[in-house]
Amino acid sequence: MSQTLLMPKATAVWLVDNTALSFEQIAAFCTLHPLEVQGIADGDVASGIMGANPIQNGQLTKEEIEKAEGNPNYRMKLSEPKVRVAAVKRKGPRYTPISRRNERPNAIKWLVRNHPELKDAQIMRLVGTTKSTIESVRENSHWNAANLTAMDPVTLGLCSQIDLDLEVKRASKDAPAQAELNEGTTLLTAEEALARAGGRGHEHMSEDGGDGFEPSHDRRQEDFDADSVFAKLKSLKTDAADEE
């Protein structure tokens, strides 16, 4: 996490009044222009600002100032903070500068068109909008729908490319599961089941038993005449009597 100087102009006022540092050294440390530091020294700039001691707030050491005073080419460095405060996680929609708020519908149109997998909550986080605005843009019922132009929210400065890629990655994780659910096995209705069973029965009872299907049991049975059956039974009885 990069460090930033607290109250740069107030710090510059204190350094001008209390050290022998050059304007260039103070400007480099306070991220100001050398002419601005010269204006502070002349009383033309920051005349109503009270100087802030960077040694007291722990952003600069006395040794660092003395080292810079002895070498005009040396540039002072911020001291490492003694206590590191964890970054506060942002909650709710992203803050959008006033100058960019009119561009949010254009960004929403771009997101809806190019990343339809994004949920409304994700779009709200990216561009700091409301659900009703997203719905109006998606349904083309926005009051300015005729003049909306799809524009990349990263280009507009509404979000970073890292944030956009992260939300797209999160949304894509749910896509395969949803696809498998849609393509999974579905239950057949009674009519469909009977139709399939009937189709298999007709194939099973093909005339020549071709295409890998066996002819039905009824087709394999021979047609017997009733007289021949009784004659065969009579002969069997006669053979049994002779054996006795």
C-alpha distances out from residue 201 to 125, 197, 198, 214, 216, Å: 59, 6, 5, 11, 9
- Under a CB-based contact definition with an 8 Å cutoff, are residues 3 and 81 in contact? yes
Give me the percent of the chain exceeding a pLDDT of 70: 61
**Which pLDDT tens digit goes with each residue over 207-232?**
444 444 444 444 444 454 556 656 66
DSSP 150-188: ---HHHHTSS-HHHHHHHHHHHHHHHHHHHHHHHS--PP
| Under 8 Å between Cβ of 126 and 159 | yes
Q: Over the stretch 123-151, which tens digit does the pLDDT of each residue have?
A: 998 888 889 999 999 999 998 888 989 98
Residue type for 136, please?
Answer: S
Give 79-121 pLDDT, tens digit per residue: 887 655 555 555 555 565 666 678 889 999 999 999 999 999 9
3-state secondary structure 109-130: HHHHHHCCCCCHHHHHHHHCCC
User: What is residue 66's predicted lDDT score, i.e. its pLDDT?
Assistant: 93
